[in-house]
Amino acid sequence: MKVNCVWEHNGNDSIIYANNYIGAFARGASKEEAMLKMPEEIRRFQLWRGEKPLDNYEIDIVQEKESGLQVRDADSDVLFATEKDPLSAEEYQHLKTLAMKSAEDFYSLYNSFPDKHKSALPYRKTFYGSVPRTAEEMYQHTKNVNEYYFSEIGVDANNEGTIVSCRARGFESLESIPGFLSLETVTGSYDEQWSVRKVLRRFIWHDRIHAKAMYRMGVLTFGANAIPDLFRFVR
C-alpha cells in the first residue's frame, strides 16, 4: 500500500508524517532514517485503530517543508497541502473520533502509573525549556495544548479538567461555529498557518509523541511489567 507522506526537516533532522494515516509519524537524523521507520510506525498505528496491518507499505514523499525550527525536538509548523481543503461531515467525525480516542487512551496510560511523580529519566532542556520527565509533567504538557490549538483557529477553549473533558468541550465550541467544516486557513501565532484539519492532526500527533515517551519512561522507571500495555502503538 502506498503511504503518502510529508517531509519536514531542518538540515538533516527530519520528521515524516503520514498523510493518509493522520497522526502517524517517524523521526530520524536523516530523511532516509525516518523513511525506514515509517512502515513499522504505520503497522502500530493500524493496531491502535483496531485494524489489521498490511504486509507491505510504499513510502512516498508528496510534500517537503524546510523548517527553521528544532525538528529534532519535534517542533513543527508544517501545514499539509491537503489541510487547506474543507472537511465533509464524515471526515470530521472520523478524525474527531480518533482525536478523542487518543485523549482517552493517553489519560488511561497516565492513570496506570504507580507513581506519577517518579522518573528515571535525566533532566534535559530544549528550545521550550525542560523536557517533561514524569508522567505528571508529560500529562500536563500534553493536556495544556488544548487552548492553544483551538485558539489558533478562533475557537474558545481552555485547559480545565482532564485531557478528555477539555478536548471534548473544545470540539463542542468548534461545532457551534456556522460552517466550521469549511473555515479558511488562518495565520496564527508565530506566523504559523492553521486549519481545522491541522488541529485534528496535531492533537493525535502530539498525543502520540508524548504517549511514546511516557510509555518508554514507565518501562525504564518501573520495569516492563509494571505499565499495562494500553498503547500497543508505543512499544
- C-beta of residue 65 within 8 angstroms of C-beta of residue 8: yes
Distance, in Å, from the CA atom of 183 to the CA atom of 87, rounded to the nearest integer, reads 9
At 80-138, the pLDDT tens digits run: 999 999 999 999 999 999 999 999 999 999 999 999 999 999 988 765 678 899 999 99
Which grid cell is 100? Answer: 478523542
Q: What is the pLDDT of residues 173-192, one digit of tens each?
A: 999 999 999 999 999 999 99
Q: Single out the residue of 193, 189, 157 nearest to residue 78, CA to CA.
A: 193
Could you report the per-residue pLDDT of 194-206, keeping only the tens digit for each?
A: 999 999 999 999 9
Check: CB of residue 40 under 8 Å from CB of residue 22: no
Share of the chain above pLDDT 70, in %: 96
First to last CA, the chain: 23
Task: Give the fold, CATH level 3, of 82-234.
Answer: Four Helix Bundle (Hemerythrin (Met), subunit A) (1.20.120)
Distance from C-alpha of 88 to C-alpha of 229, rounded to nearest angstrom: 34
- The confidence score (pLDDT) of residue 127 equals 59
Domain ranges in the chain are 2-78, 82-234
Q: What is the pLDDT of residue 128?
A: 64
Query: What are the CA-CA distances from residue 45 to residues 39, 136, 141, 192 (Å)?
Result: 10, 24, 22, 27
Residue range 125-167, pLDDT digits in tens? 765 678 899 999 999 999 999 999 999 999 999 999 999 999 9
Question: How far apart are alpha carbons 207 and 234 in whole angstroms?
Answer: 11
Query: 223 burial class (0-12, 13-18, 19+ CB within 10 angstroms)?
Result: exposed
Q: DSSP readout, 106-121?
A: HHHHHHT-S-TT---P
Q: Please choose, from the candidates 23, 18, 43, the residue with its C-alpha nearest in 3D space to the C-alpha of residue 211.
A: 23
What percent of the chain is modeled with pLDDT above 90?
Answer: 87
User: For position 181, what pLDDT does the model report?
Assistant: 98
Q: Are 201 and 19 within 8 A, CB to CB?
A: no
- Position 232 scores a pLDDT of 47
By the 8 A CB rule, do 123 and 130 touch? Answer: yes
